[in-house]
Amino acid sequence: MRRALSFAILAVVVVVLLSGINGFSFDPSPAAFLSDDDSELGAFNKIAEVFGDSGSIVLVLEASQTSLELLKSITEKINSLEWVKSVLSPTEAVKLGSFNLVTMSIPSESYVYEEEGRLVLNEELLSNPLYSNLIISSDGRYYAVMITIAEGNELNSDALIPELRSVLDSSGVESYKLIGESVANSETFRSIIDLTFKYPPFILLAIMAVYVIKFRRISLSLLTLVPPLAAVMVIVGIMGLMELSINSLTVMIPSFIVIIGSAYGMHFLSRFDENIHMKNAVRRTVHEERVPILFSALTTMAGFSSYILLDMKAFQEMGIFVCSGIFLSAIFSITVLPGLVTSKAATRREVSPPRDVNPVVKRAVIWVVIALSMASPLLIITIPMTIDQYNFFKEDSEIRNSAKTMKEAFGWLTNYALMAEPVEGGSISLTSVQVENLEALEEELKGIEGISKVMSLFDLSRETNVPLPLMIRALNSTDVFGDSTSLLVSDNAIRFNLFSSESDSLSAERLKTAVEKSIGKFPELHKNFEFTLAGTTLIWKSVNSSVVNNQIQSLIVSFGLIILLLLSIFRSLKSTIIATIPILLTTLFNFVFMAVFRIPLSISTALISGMLMGLVIDYAIHFTIWFRRFGDSHKAYEQTVRAILTNGLSLVAGFSVLLLTPLLLYVDVAKLMVSGLAVGMVLTLILLPEIASRSERFLSRAKDSG
């Protein structure tokens, strides 16, 4: 009967998985972490709607390795791609002449012209303020092709970048570099795919290796993985049926469920291995383990459940599905495993009692804990509080090398758009005073720290001696500037393009403040125009602000839920306080490790504290339960040390696999989880018995004095 029930449950699991397997999509952009009413996201979408583009990609080529003929061919091929709004390259650069009053036109000529059967570059391009260090480096060593993405394609970077690379590879380019948010998103997408399909088998092997050492039986080691794998299949199927987008945070859900959920199967099978020679071994094991496993799952879920209450959709999904996966792992451990195990004869292994920790080691650990706890405030304030999309990748990665080249060759790495549109709506109509103020604003923008270049209509106006109102009319009514006109003006708005050498969210925040301050110096402009500043780095700034706020809230909620669970389990304030000491210190040390490893408080690392609370509390609960049962800290230590070490080592092994991922986002998670779990085990097995022992001696002295 049990076996039939187990296979029936597994059959349902497979059906759920197959039902939703085709409903997935992937979204590696920062917008996945924000609500639709976020101000920075709204500003980005607003400018995209007005100008018809949403972000840009920069192709960097070495001039010594790229002929102008090849550059022209590449430019034409890129321009033919459906998702491209405009392409600006040296071969498309236009030299404008003075306005001709007779013909009412602006004469133009290309900076690249044909001479004796080959293309030649006019060296004046190097000093043109509009183009220099935008599409050609000021020393002429590098060419750049600036590609703007048509509105509506910003979330398709997983398809756009491979298509662009295919065009470049087929053009015969020896080497090139790509820079931009879409490029970063594409690399993140590749990492998401790897984490979804490539790394889980290695995580399973690492966990299984720990359990093989423990059980000395491959069959039992394999069975520990059945409950979490079944839980993952159900969760993945449900997410597919709901047609949810997988982002760089929620992609970790299956890995978390497998790593954490395997512990429940281990606890069940450990007890079964002890009961195997007894009558009704399976029934006895279910009776003994169902309550501890469910309580263990509930306390771990408490660490994740706080994310459900946060206002970031990705965190909410993480909380809901990891909690559900953990609960299903526990349920499957006590419903599916009983039908899969067999009570065949097995050789009983003699197990020697665990050794006590050396007193010198105990004292050393206690003093280290005290010293680090006292020093923690000074360390914690040094934790980086900024997000840089390029720092998500390893130092030697292609995208980091491309960013370095871009910054050295052109002096900038990220760009922002400052849009000015009439308050009353309608087309742009400028007075002489407004033109004067806008030009003065441009000079203010050029002086802001971090801005290395400003591209605007004034560059064209100064080059041609055409007044700005007339230039706007000419650009909107002719194709003198080609598709690149949209970089500067639309029917009802003008745009300043700000190029910055910094790409982190903290610099973006400072830049936005400085831009707003500059605009505030011109009340006339502020009264007649609505200004909107947008950029993907500002979106990351918004993500970072939400992460910091949510981190504080999630810690409070997680700790509160764990306290309530402990009080309901122990019904004793003293036992609850003793059990919370390891999780409080582990959480504190997590922030210490962030300072030591220079890991910023980011999307993924914001999860760690709550996770560690939910995992380490299991160790403390196991010890405290046995301490209350025996009234002896030494016996409680002997009873729990092996289970805690096995559980902890399996978690460490699983998370250690993430150290091999190409994205630093997940490497940082692995570093903090491995170090945090190690600290949690040490504190539980060394500090907690010491505290319990002192509690025993205190009670003994109290009785004697009484």
DSSP string covering 328-391: HHHHHHHHTGGGT------PPPP-PPPPPPPHHHHHHHHHHHHHHHHHHHHHHTTS----BGGG
Position 350 scores a pLDDT of: 54
Distance of CA 480 to the CA centre of its chain: 43
Q: Are residues 249 and 374 in the same domain?
A: yes
Residue 532 near residue 50 (C-beta atoms within 8 A): no
The verdict on residue 422 lying in a domain is yes
* Cα 501 to Cα 403: distance, rounded to the nearest angstrom: 10
In which band, very low, low, confident or very high, does the pLDDT at 100 lie, cut at 50, 70 and 90? low
* Cα 270 to Cα 220: distance, rounded to the nearest angstrom: 9
Q: Are residues 584 and 627 in the same domain?
A: yes
The verdict on residue 413 lying in a domain is yes
- For 172-191, what is the mean pLDDT? 86
Q: For 355-408, write each residue's pLDDT tens digit.
A: 777 788 888 888 888 898 999 999 988 888 777 878 888 888 888 899 999 999
Choose the final residue of a domain: 534, 561, 576.
534
- 216 dihedral zone (left: phi>0; alpha: psi -120 to 50; beta): left
- Give Cα separations from 18 to 52, 233, 480 (angstroms): 39, 9, 56
Residue 5 near residue 332 (C-beta atoms within 8 A): no
Q: Are residues 580 and 498 in the same domain?
A: no
How many residues comprise the chain? 706
Position 104 scores a pLDDT of: 59
Position 701 scores a pLDDT of: 41
* Cα 393 to Cα 176: distance, rounded to the nearest angstrom: 19
- DSSP per-residue string spanning 561-600: HHHHHHHHHH--HHHHHHHHHHHHHHHHHHHHHHHHHT--
In this structure, which amino acid lies at residue 704?
Answer: D
Position 696 scores a pLDDT of: 56
Q: Are residues 20 and 66 in the same domain?
A: no
Position 74 scores a pLDDT of: 95
Q: Are residues 432 and 447 in the same domain?
A: yes
Three-point CA angle 126, 511, 420, nearest 5°? 75
In sequence order, what are the residues at sequence separation of 6 or more whose Cβ sits closer than 8 angstroms to the Cβ of residue 92? 75, 110, 482, 484
Q: Could you tell me which of 246, 298, 259, 108 has the C-alpha nearest to residue 652?
A: 259
* Cα 143 to Cα 60: distance, rounded to the nearest angstrom: 6
Q: Are residues 547 and 526 in the same domain?
A: no
* Cα 497 to Cα 485: distance, rounded to the nearest angstrom: 12
Q: Are residues 106 and 6 in the same domain?
A: no
Position 69 scores a pLDDT of: 94
Position 187 scores a pLDDT of: 83
Q: Are residues 626 and 606 in the same domain?
A: yes
Residue 91 near residue 75 (C-beta atoms within 8 A): yes
The parent domain of residue 114 ranges over 53-150+156-183+399-534
| pTM for this model (two decimals) | 0.80
Q: Is the pLDDT of residue 440 over 90?
A: yes
Position 155 scores a pLDDT of: 66
Choose the final residue of a domain: 471, 505, 534.
534
Between β-strands 108-110 and 118-121, what pairing exists: parallel, antiparallel or unpaired?
unpaired
Q: Are residues 529 and 655 in the same domain?
A: no
Residue 470 near residue 480 (C-beta atoms within 8 A): no
The verdict on residue 225 lying in a domain is yes
* Cα 373 to Cα 81: distance, rounded to the nearest angstrom: 58
Q: Is the pLDDT of residue 163 over 90?
A: yes
Q: For 134-149, write each residue's pLDDT tens digit.
A: 999 999 999 999 999 9
Three-point CA angle 276, 279, 284, nearest 5°? 75
Position 355 scores a pLDDT of: 73
Which percentage of the chain shows pLDDT scores above 70? 94
Buried b / exposed e over 551-569, threshold 16 CB at 10 Å, is beebbebbbebbbebbeeb
- For 1-22, what is the mean pLDDT? 88
- Residue 26, beta-bridge partner list: 246
Alpha helices of 447-572 — where are they, by DSSP H? 457-464, 468-477, 505-520, 523-528, 536-570
* Cα 684 to Cα 627: distance, rounded to the nearest angstrom: 12
In sequence order, what are the residues at sequence separation of 6 or more whose Cβ sits closer than 8 angstroms to the Cβ of residue 104? none
* Cα 281 to Cα 291: distance, rounded to the nearest angstrom: 17
Token readout for 362 is 């105990």
Between β-strands 53-62 and 493-500, what pairing exists: parallel, antiparallel or unpaired?
unpaired
Which of the pair, 220 or 545, is modelled with greater confidence? 220
The domain total for the chain is 2
SS3 (DSSP) at 413: coil
The verdict on residue 312 lying in a domain is yes
- Give Cα separations from 565 to 568, 604, 617 (angstroms): 5, 26, 11
Q: Are residues 382 and 421 in the same domain?
A: no
Buried b / exposed e over 311-331, threshold 16 CB at 10 Å, is ebbbbebbbbbbbbbbbbbbb
Q: Is the pLDDT of residue 704 over 60?
A: no
Q: For 479-519, write each residue's pLDDT tens digit.
A: 777 777 888 888 889 999 999 999 888 899 999 999 999 99
- Give Cα separations from 634 to 209, 361, 366, 580, 619 (angstroms): 29, 16, 18, 19, 16
In which band, very low, low, confident or very high, does the pLDDT at 599 lie, cut at 50, 70 and 90? confident
Pick from 34-38, 70-74, 183-187, 382-386 the range whose average pLDDT is largest: 70-74
Position 703 scores a pLDDT of: 41
Residue 587 near residue 612 (C-beta atoms within 8 A): yes
Position 302 scores a pLDDT of: 83
Which percentage of the chain shows pLDDT scores above 90? 31
The verdict on residue 497 lying in a domain is yes
The verdict on residue 44 lying in a domain is no
The verdict on residue 476 lying in a domain is yes
Position 451 scores a pLDDT of: 94
- For 523-543, what is the mean pLDDT? 88
Q: Are residues 548 and 690 in the same domain?
A: yes
Q: For 17-69, write each residue's pLDDT tens digit.
A: 988 888 777 777 777 777 777 888 889 989 999 998 888 999 999 999 999 99
Q: Is the pLDDT of residue 348 over 70?
A: no
In which band, very low, low, confident or very high, does the pLDDT at 345 lie, cut at 50, 70 and 90? very low
Pick from 75-89, 172-186, 296-310 the range whose average pLDDT is largest: 75-89
Position 349 scores a pLDDT of: 54
Q: Are residues 212 and 361 in the same domain?
A: yes
The verdict on residue 394 lying in a domain is no
* Cα 327 to Cα 208: distance, rounded to the nearest angstrom: 21
SS3 (DSSP) at 245: strand
Choose the final residue of a domain: 509, 534, 559.
534
Position 705 scores a pLDDT of: 42
- Give Cα separations from 229 to 132, 233, 269, 378 (angstroms): 56, 6, 16, 42
Position 243 scores a pLDDT of: 87
